[in-house]
A and B are shown apart, each in its own frame.
Chain A
Amino acid sequence: MPETDFRSVQFEEVDWSDTTCLITYGPHPEKLLHAIDAVGLLQWPLLQQREDGLLRIVCGSRRLTVCRKLGIEPVPCQVFSTSVSHLTCLRMAIYDNVAQRVLNPVEKSLVLTKMAEYVDRPQLIEDVMPLLDLEPSVTLLQRYEGLQELDSPIVDAVAGGSLHERIAFALRPLRGKDRLAFLKLFEQLPFSVSVQEELLETIMDISRRDGVAPRDVINDKEIRELRQENKRPLRQRAQDIRICLQARRSPRLTARKQRFLEEIRQVGLPPGLRLEPPPHFEGSRWRLEFTFHQPDELTVRLRQVARLTGQPAFRRLLKSK
């Protein structure tokens, strides 16, 4: 550790706009504010003296901000001299943070872009990415580097954890308005990350096929109405939208599914029996499902199944695929 000076710092001595070593991004944890308010500053921020007399924050930007908010001044700090290199300061900032917590994806992106000024790409991939718990890969590096170029609501959502970075990466090639339309949809309704990925692909496919912007698919009348069905629970609304978009993307499959349900109704399956066609009607593996509690009930079910397989309507249904 380079030599440090310990001193009390006034806020006016700090250049708050100097982000050379800033790798924190995202909402300030409430817990930190409460902790400093309750017991004061336990860990001193680290700053660096600049040639112009002002101080650059190296570690502890959040602590300093909280102190400013609480009016705690002067703040006891450690201060590096001007001779300490930028790279050393940046490494201090990185190690200080990764030792204490998991960085959010935007912070990882900040680390990678800042370190890229000092180390070559192979080193960035082999040394820095594992430090951030990232798989060392060029593609992943490029994705993280591009994260900060996204619209600030998306960057904030990723930093705050309401949007998964995988979705943000997938949104990157789109136009700004389209990205924000997706963000709004995903923030409004509780889709899992994998369903978000599925929706993204479905909406993009519809958009390309129909020659309309993705945002127009998201905001069209039918989807808008489903989104605004305030009486339905959020989960149900999310599921309705998913089904609606799938039907639009795959009209043949949807029509076939509906026809199958109609055929099943006409055959009249005994209650408690469930017949499932082969997935996507591909191949010939059907699935018949029933439950029972007692051996006698099983006997009844098996008899029902035997009778069913003899019915011409049922046989036709299996063939009609």
Chain B
Amino acid sequence: MRFRPEKLVIEEAVAETSLVQRVLAVLPHTPVIWVGRVKETKGPRDEQVLEIVKFRGRFIKPCPGTRSYICCGYQILNLGIKCSLGCTYCILQSYFPSPNLRLFANLEDMWQQLRDHLGSFRNRVHRFGTGEFTDSLLLDPLTHLSADLVPFFAGEANAILELKTKTTQVESLETLNHRGHTVVAWSLNPDGVIASEEAAATSLDDRLEAARRCQEWGYRIAFHFDPLLVHPNWQQNYTEVVSRLFSTVDPRGIAWISLGTLRFMPALKPIIQQRHPESTILHEEFVPGLDGKMRYFRDLRVEMYRHLNELLKKGCEDLCIYLCMESEDVWTEALGFTPEERGGLCAILDRQALP
């Protein structure tokens, strides 16, 4: 288990929920503090704590894309916030005011909202992901949520679920009836980058091995080269990652691969400097993008995308490769086409999504 809390803070309103009961069953000896409502505090994260609360907002949110860049148009299924893996570049460090890892336990509301959403847009393809505000599988050994989500999506003809993770906690997926409606995805980086910037996550080999196992169980898999990070010898290092990727998994079973270079809101910069003074990710030059986020200079982004695209296409011509939050001109220069020419990025991914 990658995260085993030493203290649970649970809101009384969700005491009887199945999620709380499951967590308590897995952690029978972990002290529990019952509260009326978890306080919204600022300040450093209490590494030992898991908060379980009643979520009062919308469980489904559109991916926070902006008009200035082309968005993949997927829906976030928001089941919790924050993460214990502590990647130096993680945007969640500046995203939510509350610092602690938090799960939403009123899943009945979530199911209702999900059914309503799917019901009101019957003819559309729905791509959902749970890995935007936390790691999709980090808490799965505690919550067993995948055991509910995967079969649910298996029964939805027009919908798929993408589980994005940097862990290898896939055991519970083995026996689930997914009918091709769940895609399991890993974010990839070279070993050196993982060691320095994703130190608490799993190694590249372990991620690829977990992906291979999922393929064995019939799942389609996906990869996100996001964030691509400039570092000494980045070309060779990413070449090495791609070669290990192709030697471990069958590329025909890859649903999609996304590419996205490091980007962050300016407010994250001092947080990274303060929390991760040894990190070198901020040494490269950055420019403000059209969405206010800091990005590598476009020529460098194009160079990185081209490099990865060529490697990936050489390994498998038919791969569906897309850029995350980039402009049309960068698409054209890096991949040789714009999504618009192929019906738009959403349509490209929708076509790819269903089994």
Q: List residues of chain A with CB under 8 Å of any chain B CB.
A: 205, 208-209, 249-253, 256, 279-284, 321
Residue of A at shortest CB range from B332? Answer: A319
| B299→A256 contact, CB < 8 A | yes
Interface hub of B68, B273, B285, B289 (most chain A Cβ within 10 A): B285
Q: Mark B279-310, 1 if CB is under 8 A from A, else 0.
A: 00011010111100001011110000000000
19 contacts between A and B (CB under 8 A): A205-B282, A205-B283, A208-B273, A209-B283, A250-B297, A252-B285, A252-B297, A253-B287, A280-B287, A280-B288, A280-B298, A281-B299, A282-B289, A282-B295, A282-B298, A283-B327, A283-B329, A284-B329, A321-B298
Partner of B285 from the list A253, A281, A282, A284 (CB cut-off 8 Å) is A253
| A208→B285 contact, CB < 8 A | no
Partner of B287 from the list A209, A282, A284, A321 (CB cut-off 8 Å) is A282
| A282→B290 contact, CB < 8 A | yes
A209–B231 alpha-carbon span in the complex (Å) = 12
Partner of A281 from the list B68, B282, B297 (CB cut-off 8 Å) is B297
8 tightest CB-CB pairs across the interface, nearest first? A280-B287, A209-B283, A250-B285, A252-B297, A283-B290, A253-B297, A281-B298, A283-B327
User: Is B11 an interface residue when CB atoms closer than 8 A count as contact?
Assistant: no
A176–B283 alpha-carbon span in the complex (Å) = 24
Given contacts A283-B68, A283-B290, contact A321 B297 (CB under 8 A): no
Given contacts A256-B299, A280-B297, A321-B329, contact A208 B282 (CB under 8 A): yes
Partner of A252 from the list B68, B300, B327, B328 (CB cut-off 8 Å) is B300
A211–B126 alpha-carbon span in the complex (Å) = 49
Residue of A at shortest CB range from B284? Answer: A209
Residue of B at shortest CB range from A284? Answer: B329
- Shortest A235–chain B CB gap in Å is 26
- Shortest B271–chain A CB gap in Å is 14
Number of interface residues of B (CB under 8 A): 17
- Shortest B265–chain A CB gap in Å is 15
Contacts of B285 in A (CB 8 A): 249-253
Q: Mark B313-331, 1 if CB is under 8 A from A, else 0.
A: 0000000000000011100
Contacts of A283 in B (CB 8 A): 68, 290, 327, 329
Contacts of A209 in B (CB 8 A): 283
Residue of A at shortest CB range from B270? Answer: A201
Residue of A at shortest CB range from B273? Answer: A208
Interface hub of B290, B295, B300, B328 (most chain A Cβ within 10 A): B290
Known: A205-B282, A281-B299. 14 other contacts (CB 8 A): A208-B283, A209-B283, A250-B285, A252-B285, A252-B299, A252-B300, A253-B285, A253-B297, A280-B297, A281-B287, A281-B297, A282-B298, A283-B290, A283-B329
| A256→B282 contact, CB < 8 A | no
Residue of B at shortest CB range from A278? Answer: B290
Residue of B at shortest CB range from A208? Answer: B283
Contacts of B290 in A (CB 8 A): 282-283
Given contacts A208-B282, A253-B287, contact A282 B299 (CB under 8 A): no
| B283→A284 contact, CB < 8 A | no
Contacts of A282 in B (CB 8 A): 287-290, 295, 298, 327
Partner of A284 from the list B295, B297, B327 (CB cut-off 8 Å) is B327
A251–B297 alpha-carbon span in the complex (Å) = 10
Interface hub of B68, B288, B327, B329 (most chain A Cβ within 10 A): B329
Contacts of B289 in A (CB 8 A): 282
- Shortest A219–chain B CB gap in Å is 21
Residue of B at shortest CB range from A280? Answer: B287
Residue of B at shortest CB range from A253? Answer: B297
Contacts of B283 in A (CB 8 A): 205, 208-209
Contacts of A252 in B (CB 8 A): 285, 297, 299-300
- Shortest B312–chain A CB gap in Å is 25
Q: Mark B252-291, 1 if CB is under 8 A from A, else 0.
A: 0000000000000000000001000000001101011110
Contacts of B298 in A (CB 8 A): 280-282, 321
Contacts of A249 in B (CB 8 A): 285
Contacts of B328 in A (CB 8 A): 284
- Shortest A282–chain B CB gap in Å is 6
A252–B301 alpha-carbon span in the complex (Å) = 12
